[in-house]
Amino acid sequence: MQEIYILRHGHAQESDNGLNDFDRALTEEGIEKINRLSRFLDKLDVNLELILSSPYARAKQTAEIFLSNLTLKPELKTVDFLASGTSCKEISRGLVDYSSNKNALLVGHSPDLEIFLGKLIGADRITLKKGALAKVKFQNNIELSGELEWLIIPKLIKKVKTAKLA
């Protein structure tokens, strides 16, 4: 892989509503922000080859919404190695099967993706707000170590959109 995009799922329902963690869906705010983010990324002409999502409802919903706004439709797969509570080692092992892809979008959870992103770029952990998207570019395909090219938070997309209208 030459690039990995890492997306933390959008805002989700609280678990104190009697829902189990696996079934928590996105809120209206979460849906709106993921729609906005995916449309923004599509305008950047990023051609994703693959979207890999956690099997948890909020992550799957995030991935599906994201995919629905892309002009070029990559394959979407649900994978257990992105489930909540996974380790960097499990994510790395899971990605081996997809190493022939030029790039992939990973949709998952905090702190798993934050720690994984940190390891990729030589840091302890990079904070990802809900609905944040990071791009990591790799120098070679052998090691999963790269450079953080950018990190977008939903609030930034709203500010960019507002600035364009002014």
pLDDT in tens, 42-80: 998 889 999 999 999 999 999 999 999 999 999 999 999
Binning pLDDT at 50, 70 and 90, where does residue 160 land?
low
Longest dimension (CA), the chain: 47
Q: How confident is the model at residue 37 (pLDDT cuts 50, 70, 90)?
A: very high
Contacts (Cβ under 8 Å, ≥6 apart) of 127: 114
> How many whole angstroms separate alpha carbon 26 and alpha carbon 35?
12
Is residue 74 reached through a cis peptide bond, with omega within 30 degrees of 0 on the bond before it? Answer: no
Share of the chain above pLDDT 70, in %: 92
- Domain spanning 3-165 has what CATH number? 3.40.50.1240
pLDDT (0 to 100) of residue 15: 80
Strands of the sheet with 103-108, listed across from one edge: 75-78, 50-53, 103-108, 3-8, 133-138, 146-152
Structure-model confidence comparison of residues 17 and 38, the more confident one: 38
Residue 22 has pLDDT above 50, yes or no: yes
Predicted local confidence at residue 139, as pLDDT:
78
Cα gap 138→142, rounded to integer Å: 9
Helix (H, G, I), strand (E, B) or coil at 148: strand
pLDDT > 60? residue 165? no
Closest C-alpha among 78, 84, 102, 82 to residue 92 = 82
Mean pLDDT of the chain: 91
What is the C-alpha to C-alpha distance for residues 129 and 126, in angstroms, rounded to an integer? 10
Residue 142 has pLDDT above 60, yes or no: no
Mean pLDDT over 110-136 rounds to 96
Q: Which of 54, 66, 5 is nearest to 30 (CA)?
A: 66
The answer to whether 103 and 48 are in contact (CB under 8 A) is yes
Cα–Cα distance, 136 to 115 (Å, whole number): 14
Whether this model's pTM surpasses 0.95: no
